[in-house]
Structure formats: C-alpha cells, structure tokens
Amino acid sequence: MKALSDDQFAYLLILPLIIISLAMIVYPLAFSFWLTLNDVNFGRPSNVYIFTGFEQWVKVLYDPQFLSSFLITIRFAFIAVVVSLLLSLGIALLLNEPLKGRGLLRALVIVPWAIPEYAVGVLWKYLYDADIGLFNGILYVFHIIPGYTTLMLESNAVELVAIAYSWHMASLGVFFFLPGLSFISQEEYRAARIDGAGSFRRFWHITLPHLRYPLLVWLVFLTMESVRALDIILTMTGGGPNLATNTLSFIGYKQTFQLLNLSPGATLSYYLMFLTIALAMVYFYVLYRPKKKAD
C-alpha cells in the first residue's frame, strides 16, 4: 500500500469527527435557523408553521424578560466562574502540598463532579430548604436565627444556585490544574525563595505562568458550561423564586417544552451561542500566548 502523507493520514483519522460535526453542529444550527425564520408553535390548534422572516430575532430582543434574563445569565455565569476558579485553584494548590492522606483526598475531590448535575440541584435544594434545610438547622442550633426562615430569596437566589453549581464544577477544575502543578520543578521555587520572593510572588511569577494553558482551557470550558447551565436550575429552583433564576437557557426551555413555542427558544439559543463565542474569544485574546517553537 502506498504510504499516506501526513495530511491524508490526519484527515483519515479525523474523518469521523467531521461527520459528527455535521450531525452535531451543522444540522441543529441549520434547523434552528429555519425555526427562527418561522413562528412554529405546536400549542396552536392549526397553522403550526407561519413564515415570519427575521421577525423573531427582533421580537425576542424586545421581550421584557429578555434583558432581565440576560443579566441573570451573566450574573450567574460570572459568580459560578469566579467561585469555581478560586475553589479549584485553591484545592489544587492544597492537594499539591505534602499532606498525610493526600491520595485519599485527591480521590474524594472528584466526587462532587461525579454526582449528576440534576442531583446536585436536589442536594443543595435540601441544604437551603426552609423546612428541613441543613443551613437553617445549623443557624437555628447556634441561635443565629430565632426560627426557620426562607434562605433562598429573590435577591440572592442566583448566588445560592451559583454556589451549588461551583461545588459541582470546581472539583473537575482541580483535575485541570493538578497535573500541571506536579510538573513544575521544585528547583524554580527554591531559586525564587533564595532570591527572596514571598509565597504570593512565587505563585504569581512561577505557578500561574505554568498554568496558563490549563487555565485558559478551564475558563473557556467553565464559561460555556455555566452560560448554558440548565439541569441545576430545573431541579433546584425551576426559575424561581419569582423568576429570580430565569436564565436565558431556562426561558428557552420553558418556551420550547412548556409552551411548545419553538421559534423563540431557537432564537434565544442563537443569542446564547453568540454570547458564549464572544466570551470564549475574549479569553483567547487575553490569555493565549503561543510559545515560540522550542526546536
């Protein structure tokens, strides 16, 4: 058999991926785009499909819920990203230190990620719960509150859900950082210590540059996941209390599967996708510095 060139061999290997991308990206995108150009509503007894052109794209923007949902989505994603990032970096640094029982801890850390996201929603719902919640119980036992209260209010619901979401996601982040950390040589730290660099400067000038790429991958991944997060909202709040956690993703879900109104959902999804791509590009622009080739 004639030897293949690098190009041919590579394309042979990624051929399945190209087919999958057609199925996973091109077909849904094309179909959704068709949906946005029509008013498709299975809730109507007749006239399910009505061609409307670009009307949906404008209508969705003028929907009073859109702006508030957009802000809720950004707020949720921002808190989830910051909290998950700090947590995962902190835990990774801790688990990189010599500790008795470190192996066991490293094994345990993955557990919150292994728990399904919908289950995480239920788990934390029961922690915050007004009747049987653990946090209420602890606050009550220590006499911080006189009686059980509703902890999840309209004002803080987004934050509470974001913390639960971070509990789930941070444990995956640890595994983005740990391998990178263990490859940093102790020599570098020793040299810096001799030069009089404090622990913060060692972290800033040695640890962080080594983690630049995992950090980028993790930030992009985390942002994409939290902007489109849906399971946890479905099982934990259902968009409530009083629409406080009504993210774009959740509106899209509600429009599509409860009101059977497919077009606004599809249009929202497009806006959501633009938002995610824009955020990912910002990360690349800020964080991505391709190194010069070594050889």
List of E strands, the chain: 38-40, 49-51
Q: Which is nearer to another protein, 35 or 244 (CB)?
A: 35
Residue 6 CB, nearest distance to another protein (Å)?
6
Could you tell me the sign of the dihedral formed by the alpha carbons of 78, 83, 86, 88, in that order?
negative
Residue 77 CB, nearest distance to another protein (Å)?
13
Cα-based torsion angle of the residue sequence 93, 97, 103, 107 in order, rounded to the nearest 10 degrees: -10
Residue 253 CB, nearest distance to another protein (Å)?
6
* Pairing between β-strand 49-51 and β-strand 38-40 as defined by DSSP bridges: antiparallel
CA distances, 11 to each of 5, 6, 16, 27, 288 (Å): 10, 9, 9, 21, 26
Q: Which is nearer to another protein, 127 or 161 (CB)?
A: 127
Q: Which is nearer to another protein, 178 or 244 (CB)?
A: 178
* Residue whose token pair is 């919150």: 112
Cα-based torsion angle of the residue sequence 230, 232, 236, 239 in order, rounded to the nearest 10 degrees: -20
Q: Which is nearer to another protein, 57 or 213 (CB)?
A: 213
Q: Which is nearer to another protein, 158 or 223 (CB)?
A: 223
Quick count: other Cβ atoms within 10 Å of Cβ 258?
9
Residue 65 CB, nearest distance to another protein (Å)?
16
> What residue type is assigned to position 231 of the chain?
D
Task: Tokens for 176, please give them.
Answer: 């983005």
Residue 154 CB, nearest distance to another protein (Å)?
22
Span between the terminal Cα atoms of the chain, in Å: 33
Residue 270 CB, nearest distance to another protein (Å)?
7
Q: Which is nearer to another protein, 35 or 158 (CB)?
A: 35
Q: Which is nearer to another protein, 111 or 194 (CB)?
A: 111
Task: Tokens for 162, please give them.
Answer: 């974001």
Cβ distance 267 to 36 under 8 Å?
Answer: yes
Rg (CA), the chain: 24
Residue 161 CB, nearest distance to another protein (Å)?
14
